[in-house]
Structures are given as structure tokens and as C-alpha cells.
């Protein structure tokens, strides 16, 4: 399915910043503030006023100096100042709201929060709102032209790139302006513009095509967002004509410094570089006999004079693994490569770690790297684009999955969680990075309901403790208003859609089982005998990857207690990760009481039945949501039904052929 780009003029493609948001903004609005983003707020108010008249009551927006001048109590203001420039304070008296921004971004975030109803319970007292994560960034995997294999947006399921078309920046950037305000409204403060797999054309964004980056930076700057570029570690060779990219080579260091200087001359608030090095064919420091600290620090030192940062991905593994070799475990790779380097990265390096040890699966364990680098700035990398979770053809609301990951404590109860660890300290902050799911599609995300994932990503990066179901309500109300039936149906379709998707796809944390290449739809053995290191080891007797310390790859030993013991033992290992950690017979009995094989049979059959229940519910919203949106979702629900049936039938058939064990419910196996 390909989606045509449009300019954002209809209610469909205004996403959550349309008429429903506009009607929540108080009619009486006073803005007493200075700073570069005040004009943005002014323009937003004007834009929203064209969509709806607004709510009764008033909103007074002030910056800190104005608030002090006007005699607001010192205590909350001091607290607000300590919370950082992105924070805001809010006080409600009936229909009258007072908002104070600690800095430019704080003003803007507070304004959007009021508009979208994100401020939670309010009351007569001042309440300070500040983001938990300093880094709240989206990575675009956009190519400038259509890649023959990967398409324009790598792992993109929403049409072409918002930024680029036919190898150059788009002429009409109206939609980028709207995209920037959508991102700012959920607190995103950084955007990396191009694919981490940097091809020849995209490499030139750093040099000859820098003016194109500058234009995008201007648009994002207006919404408090800084831009970054993915760069090739071999840029000194590819772009600079040098013979090496060795981080210890003075010419290479000079080349990067000059390149950074040139960027900052045009874009003084440029965010920095994102680097995928020594990973899936991308060049890196290994070729020069250097390690990843050497590599990251090379770029960091070029950026440091400008306060730029390096986001260095920890996604490093051997993608030419021999499937015969059961001792090598891709899950260990990032930990093995990076944990020994803890403490060696410069202060402006952030090591960007995928949330799980494999690759954005529907279910996998938490990456042990997160807990293994206390002296390194970290960002956890999530994937909003639904590469392995239905590719924006299936409804799959991912916030519960991210929330579970972010709240995982590295140690006994009360230990720092993933969210707390990556947040870091005020001096050395980290955060959350996520791969965008947005493209030139008129609904932004292909599947209109996938907008909720983008929304939730921003919300969880702001407040990792926010409940996924509450975020879903926020998104529904901002996008569709207060129609109770709409809320009820969308909740029913979305709230548990991640678990639903899991129920009919790869079982019990084993992962993959997708068609190689495009990663959509079932192929149980698709990756089984490949060099990619992603195996299930199913045979006639059992299935799963033995990652125990006792008899397996030892991966479990990378976790602190109590996790190491909990995962190691079949008595305590959670069902949903059983096959991620253990190889067990099909007759192994889960904590649920079912055998593994019966679980495989039942979940896939039940999951499909539950999918079939979605479309009739959605039909009830005909006429209550925009018609084009309703039609798109209906079409995609049909595809979800088809695909879920295929998953059901292939997996049930495969595992019956393998195990020879009948489905005790007697349901048909093909």
C-alpha cells in the first residue's frame, strides 16, 4: 500500500492538533513573555482559533521574569527555575489557568499541554511539570531517494519521506512545519533527519547539501527542536577524499572538526551526529583497529566546541554468524562490545541502546547493556515504526510494551529502572530515542491509529511513569473529542492490541518467525538457517534458545540479581519470556497451566478470533470519525484479519507437523 502526500488541511491529517485541541484552548488568552518561541505560541493560537472557538475561561501565560515582576509567590517560582528550562508551572482556579514557563521550551510545552489536556489533575496550587528525560529524540530512517531494496524510508510504512523527494529536499515544506508542531506538542526536542544506514547521496547532507539541513533546522527550531544528522564513519574517506577514517589520525580529526565547524556556521543549535558503526555493513572504527570509544570520541571532540553531541548506537553484532554455532549469542553482542568501554566515552557522547538485546521484537528481555554502563550517558532506543509489530497494517498500541521496559528495575525492587538509569544526572543527562513512524501519508502514519504510538512515545519520554491507558485516553480525546462511543471503541481496539498482536505471532518471547527482508507476515523458519543470529531451534521435541548460565550461552548471567536467578530457573522464568531464555519440550507446562504446544495452538486461534471482533466494533464509528479515516482503518482491519489468519494457520500447522501433538480443543490444523 502506498499513500499519497497532501498538505495538512483536512481534519484527518491535523492529527491531535485539530479541532478538538482547538476547542480546549481557553478563549481568553494573555501572553506575557519574551523569547524566540513566543512568536510560535502566538502563531499556534491564531491557527487553532481558525479551527474552533475555544473553551470558556482564561489562560494567562507568563515567563519567569514576568511572573516574578507580577508578584507570584517566590517558592514555586524558585522550584520551577530549579526544574530546568523545559519545565512549566500550572495553577488552576476554576476555568482560569495560569501557566509559567521556566524557559522558552517550558512556555511552549505548557501551552501545548493545556491545549491537549495533558496536565493531569489540576487544582488551586502551583504544580511543576518537567520532563523526566532530557533527551527526547526521534530518529528518521529517511533516505533522500527510493532505495531499491529498502524503499524511501527504511522500515517505513507511511509512504515517502516528509523531508525528501527524488533525491533532494521537498520544495513544499508545509507538512514539515505541521510535523514539527505535532512533535513539540508532545515534548520531542531532537530530530535526526536521515537514515542511520547512510548511503552516498545522504552522506552529502553533511557537506554539499547542508543548506537543505539548514532549511529543516529553521522549521524545527521554531518549535524548540534541534536537528541532527546520521553520518557515515567513513565520511572522511567518502566525502573528504582521505585514505583512512582512523580516529587517531590527525587529518581525520581535522576533517571532522572542519565539517562540524561548517555545520555550526549555518546551524548554531545543531544537535549533533547519530552513528551506526560496525553494524550490518556500515563502516566503523574496527576497520582501523580502534574501538567504539575511540570512534565516538573522535566525533565528540569535533562537536564539543559547539556543544554538539554524538549518539553512538550500541547495535553492534556479527551479522555473518554461522547458524551451526550455538555458542555465539547475538543477544550478548552489544553487552560484550560496549560494557568494557564504560567510562571511556567523552561527556558529549550518548550511547544509544536498543531496548532489547535483539532487535525491536514484539517481546524480548530488557537489554542488559542499560545496567552495565554506569559511567556512560545512555539513551534507550525504542521503535515507533512497527517493523516487527504489524507494520502499521495491524493495530498495535505500543505504549504498554515501552512502559513495561522503561519501568524494569535493574536489581531488587526499588532499584533504578531503565527510565531512571537513562535519565542520568542533570550534569550528564540521557534519555529516550525512538525511530519515527511518520511519512508523507495523509494520516502521517499509514494506519491512522498508529498516530497514538508517536503520541505515546513523546508522553513516555516526558513522563515514563504515565499509565499507557491514560496516554491512550489523552490521545483519543485530543484527536477525536469526547464522544463516549469513540472512546469506548478505540479503547477496545487499542488498549491491549500489543498483547493481541503477540498472541497470534511468534510465541513466548522466541521472536522473529517473519519473512526475511521485509519482516512482514509469518515464516517460521525464515531466519532459522541464516547468518543473522536469530534462531528458535524448534525441532520435533521442543523449541527455544537456551541462554542459561548452566547449559546455554550464559546470557542470563549478564543480569543482576534477582533477575539472573529468576530467568535461569524454569520455576520462575516468566511465561512470556520462556522461549527467549530456555529451550523446552513442547510438553513443558507453563505457569498458566497449559503446555507450550497447547499455548501455541490456543493463543493463535484465540488471537485470530479476537481480531475478527475488531471490525464490527469499528463499524459502529462510521459517521462518528472522519470518513476517510474510517475507510482507511476498515481496509487495514481487513488486512489484519487476513494476516492474523495466516499467522494462525502457519504456526499451528508448523508446530503440529513438528510435534505431532494434537490440539486438545480439536480445532482444525491445516
Catalytic center residues: 280, 359, 387
User: Which neighbouring-strand residues pair with 368?
Assistant: none
- 309 C-beta neighbours (distance < 10 Å), count: 27
Stretch in the footprint of its own copies (CB under 8 A) among 16-24, 199-207, 474-482, 539-547: 539-547
Contact 472, 16 (CB under 8 A): no
Q: Is 392 exposed, middle or buried (0-12, 13-18, 19+ CB in 10 A)?
A: buried
Interface map 129-148 toward its own copies (x if CB under 8 A): -------------------x
**Segment contacting its own copies by CB under 8 A, of 10-18, 83-91, 634-642, 651-659:** 651-659
Bridge partners, 434 (sequence order): 138, 382
Site size toward its own copies (CB under 8 A) is: 23
Using rule CB under 8 A, residue 565 touches its own copies: no
- Residue 652 C-beta: closest distance to its own copies, Å: 11
Alpha-carbon separation of residue 219 from 52, 181, 356 (angstroms): 25, 9, 33
User: Pairing between strand 88-93 and 96-101?
Assistant: antiparallel
Q: Give whichever of 107 and 584 is closer to its own copies, judged by the CB atom.
A: 584
**Min separation Cβ 359 and its own copies, Å:** 21
Q: Is 662 in the site for its own copies (CB under 8 A)?
A: no
**Is residue 106 a contact partner of residue 88, using CB atoms and an 8 Å limit?**
yes
167 binds its own copies (CB under 8 A): no
Q: Cβ 649 to its own copies, closest distance in Å? A: 6
Quick one: 270 or 504, whose CB is closer to its own copies? 504
What are the phi and psi torsion angles at 136 (to 5°)?
-135, 95
Smaller CB separation from its own copies, 147 or 617: 147
- By CB under 8 A, name the one of 453, 499, 598, 659 that touches its own copies: 659
510 in Cβ contact with 545 (< 8 Å): yes
| Per-residue DSSP letter, 365 | P
For 453, the 3-state DSSP assignment is helix
Q: Is 591 in the site for its own copies (CB under 8 A)?
A: no
Restricting to residues 318-337, name those near its own copies by CB under 8 A.
323-324
As measured in angstroms, the least distance from the Cβ of 646 to its own copies is 8
Q: Which is nearer to its own copies, 473 or 523 (CB)?
A: 523
Q: Which stretch binds its own copies (CB under 8 A): 101-109, 394-402, 413-421, 534-542?
A: 534-542
Rounded Cα gap, residues 185 and 112, in angstroms: 5
Q: Taking CB under 8 A as the rule, does residue 649 contact its own copies?
A: yes
C-alpha cell at 513: 518467525
Choices 72-80, 131-139, 448-456, 647-655 (CB under 8 A): range interacting with its own copies: 647-655
DSSP track, 591-656: TTSSBHHHHHHHHHHHHHHHHHTHHHHHHTTTTTS-HHHHHHHHHHHHHHHHHHHHHHHHHHHHHH
CA 146 to each of CA 87, 153, 168, 202, 257: distance values in angstroms, whole numbers, following the listed order: 40, 8, 11, 12, 31
Q: Which of 304, 378, 454, 538 binds its own copies (CB under 8 A)?
A: 538
Rounded to whole angstroms, the Cα distance separating 167 from 150 reads 15
The distance of closest approach from Cβ of residue 324 to its own copies in the complex, given in angstroms and rounded to an integer, is: 4
In the stretch 91-130, what mask flags binding to its own copies with x, by CB under 8 A? ----------------------------------------
146 vs 173, beta carbon nearer its own copies: 146
Which residue among 28, 539, 609, 619 contacts its own copies (CB under 8 A)? 539
544 binds its own copies (CB under 8 A): no
Residue closer to its own copies, measured from CB, 114 or 513:
513
Residue 492: how many other CB atoms lie within 10 Å: 14
First-residue to last-residue Cα distance in the chain: 29
Candidate residues 262, 591, 657, 665; the one interacting with its own copies per rule CB under 8 A: 657
The grid coordinates of residue 526 equal 525464515
Give the residue with the Cβ less far from its own copies, 374 or 517.
517
In the set 522, 544, 552, 607, which binds its own copies (CB under 8 A)? 522
Is residue 189 a contact partner of residue 86, using CB atoms and an 8 Å limit? yes
Nearest to 196 by CA among 366, 352, 376: 352
Q: Applying CB under 8 A, which part among 153-161, 257-265, 522-530, 612-620 lies near its own copies?
A: 522-530
Asked if 33 and 101 count as a contact pair (C-beta separation under 8 A), the reply is yes
Q: Which stretch of DSSP H or E encloses residue 265?
A: helix 250-266
Residue 294 touching its own copies (CB under 8 A): no
Residue of 76, 257, 656, 667 that binds its own copies (CB under 8 A) = 656
> What is the smallest separation between the CB atom of 642 and its own copies, expressed in angstroms?
12
| 660 near its own copies, judged by CB under 8 A | yes
CB of 521 to its own copies, least distance (A): 10
Per CB under 8 A, the segment of 108-116, 532-540, 548-556, 592-600 that binds its own copies is 532-540
How near is the Cβ of 383 to its own copies at its closest, in Å? 25
Q: Please state the closest distance from residue 532 (CB atom) to its own copies, in A.
A: 13
Choices 31-39, 380-388, 494-502, 519-527; region in contact with its own copies by CB under 8 A:
519-527
User: DSSP secondary structure string, 389-420?
Assistant: TTTTTS----HHHHHHHHT-BSSSTTSPBHHH
Least separation in angstroms between CB 193 and its own copies = 26
Cα-based angle 216, 272, 457 (whole degrees, multiple of 5): 75
Contact status: 523 vs its own copies (CB under 8 A): yes
Q: Which of 653, 662, 664, 665 binds its own copies (CB under 8 A)?
A: 653
The residue within the footprint of its own copies, chosen from 220, 255, 273, 654 (CB under 8 A), is: 654
In this structure, what C-alpha cell is assigned to residue 232? Answer: 557515515
Which residue, 384, 273, 270, 309, is CA-closest to 134?
309
CB of 165: closest distance to its own copies in angstroms? Answer: 18
Q: CB neighbours of 526 closer than 8 A, spacing ≥ 6?
A: 512, 513, 514, 515, 516
160-168, Cβ contacts within 8 angstroms, sequence gap of 24 or more: 160/5, 160/439, 160/440, 161/439, 161/440, 162/5, 162/438, 162/439, 162/440, 163/193, 163/216, 165/440, 167/201, 168/144, 168/209, 168/212
**Residue numbers of the site for its own copies (CB under 8 A)?**
148, 323-324, 522-525, 529, 538-541, 646, 649-650, 653-654, 656-660, 670
Amino acid at each position: 500500500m502506498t499513500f499519497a502526500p497532501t498538505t495538512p488541511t483536512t481534519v484527518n491529517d491535523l492529527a491531535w492538533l485539530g479541532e478538538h485541541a482547538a476547542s480546549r484552548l481557553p478563549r481568553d488568552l494573555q501572553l506575557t513573555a519574551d523569547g524566540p518561541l513566543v512568536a510560535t505560541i502566538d502563531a499556534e493560537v491564531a491557527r487553532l482559533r481558525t479551527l474552533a472557538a475555544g473553551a470558556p475561561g482564561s489562560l494567562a501565560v507568563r515567563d519567569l521574569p514576568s511572573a516574578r515582576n507580577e508578584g507570584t509567590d517566590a517558592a514555586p517560582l524558585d522550584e520551577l527555575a530549579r526544574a530546568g528550562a523545559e519545565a512549566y508551572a500550572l495553577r488552576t482556579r476554576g476555568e482560569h489557568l495560569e501557566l509559567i514557563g521556566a524557559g522558552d521550551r517550558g512556555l511552549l510545552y505548557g501551552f501545548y499541554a493545556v491545549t491537549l489536556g495533558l496536565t493531569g489533575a489540576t487544582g488551586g496550587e502551583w504544580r511543576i511539570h518537567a520532563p523526566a528525560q532530557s533527551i527526547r529524540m526521534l530518529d528518521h530512517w529517511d533516505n533522500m531517494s527510493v532505495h531499491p531494496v529498502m524503499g524511501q524510508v527504511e522500515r517505513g510504512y507511511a509512504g515517502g519521506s516528509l523531508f525528501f523527494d527524488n533525491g533532494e529536499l521537498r520544495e513544499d515544506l508545509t507538512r514539515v512545519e505541521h510535523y514539527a508542531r505535532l512533535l513539540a506538542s508532545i515534548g520531542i526536542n531532537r530530530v535526526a533527519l536521515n537514515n542511520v544506514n547512510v548511503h552516498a547521496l545522504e552522506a552529502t547532507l553533511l557537506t554539499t547539501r547542508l543548506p537543505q539541513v539548514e532549511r529543516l533546522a529553521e522549521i524545527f527550531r521554531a518549535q524548540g527542536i534541534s536537528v541532527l544528522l546520521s553520518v557515515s564513519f567513513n565520511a572522511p574517506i567518502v566525502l573528504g577524499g582521505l585514505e583512512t577514517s582512523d580516529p587517531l589520525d590527525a587529518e581525520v580529526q581535522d576533517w571532522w572538526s572542519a565539517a562540524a565547524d561548517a555545520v555550526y556556521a549555518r546551524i548554531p543549535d545543531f544537535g549533533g551526529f547519530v552513528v551506526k558503526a560496525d553494524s550490518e555493513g556500515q563502516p566503523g572504527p574496527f576497520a582501523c583497529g580502534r574501538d567504539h570509544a575511540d570512534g565516538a570520541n573522535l566525533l565528540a571532540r569535533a562537536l564539543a566546541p559547539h556543544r554538539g553531541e554524538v549518539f553512538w548506537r550500541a547495535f553492534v553484532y556479527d551479522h555473518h554468524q554461522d547458524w551451526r554455532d550455538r555458542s555465539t549469542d547475538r543477544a550478548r553482542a552489544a553487552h560484550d562490545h560496549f560494557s568494557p568501554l564504560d567510562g571511556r566515552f567523552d561527556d558529549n557522547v550518548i550511547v544509544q541502546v536498543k531496548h532489547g538485546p535483539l532487535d525491536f521484537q514484539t517481546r524480548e528481555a530488557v537489554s542488559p547493556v542499560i545496567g552495565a554502563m554506569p559511567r556512560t550517558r545512555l539513551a534507550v532506543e525504542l521503535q515507533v515504526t512497527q517493523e516487527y509489530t504489524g507494520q502499521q497494517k495491524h493495530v498495535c498500541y505500543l505504549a504498554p510494551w515501552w512502559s513495561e521496559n522503561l519501568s524494569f528495575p535493574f536489581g531488587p525492587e526499588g532499584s533504578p529502572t531503565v527510565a531512571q538509569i537513562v535519565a542520568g544526572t542533570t550534569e550528564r543527562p540521557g534519555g529516550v530515542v525512538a525511530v519515527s513512524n511518520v511519512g508523507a501519508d495523509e494520516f502521517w502514519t499509514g494506519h491512522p491509529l498508529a498516530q497514538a504510538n508517536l503520541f505515546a512515545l513523546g508522553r513516555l519520554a516526558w513522563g515514563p511513569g504515565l499509565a499507557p491507558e491514560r496516554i491512550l485516553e489523552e490521545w483519543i480525546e485530543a484527536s477525536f473529542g469526547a464522544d463516549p462511543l469513540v472512546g469506548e471503541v478505540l479503547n477496545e481496539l487499542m488498549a491491549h492490541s500489543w498483547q493481541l498482536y503477540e498472541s497470534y505471532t511468534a510465541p513466548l518471547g522466541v521472536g522473529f518467525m517473519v519473512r526475511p527482508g521485509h519482516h512482514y507476515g509469518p515464516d517460521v523458519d525464515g531466519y532459522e538457517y541464516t547468518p543473522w543470529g536469530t534462531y528458535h531451534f524448534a525441532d520435533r521435541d521442543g523449541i527455544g534458545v537456551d541462554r542459561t548460565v548452566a547449559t546455554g550461552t550464559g546470557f542470563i548471567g549478564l543480569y543482576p540479581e534477582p533477575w539472573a536467578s529468576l530467568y535461569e530457573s524454569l520455576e520462575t522464568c516468566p511465561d512470556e519470556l520462556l522461549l527467549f531464555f530456555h529451550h523446552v519440550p513442547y510438553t513443558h507446562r507453563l505457569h498458566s497451566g497449559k503446555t507450550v504446544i497447547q499455548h501455541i495452538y490456543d493463543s493463535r486461534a484465540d488471537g485470530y478470533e479476537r481480531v475478527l471482533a475488531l471490525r464490527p466494533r469499528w463499524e459502529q464509528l462510521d459517521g462518528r470519525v472522519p470518513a476517510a479515516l474510517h475507510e482507511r482503518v476498515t481496509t487495514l482491519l481487513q488486512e489484519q484479519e487476513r494476516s492474523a489468519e495466516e499467522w494462525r494457520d502457519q504456526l499451528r500447522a508448523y508446530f503440529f507437523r513438528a510435534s505431532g501433538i494434537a490440539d486438545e480443543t480439536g480445532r482444525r490444523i491445516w
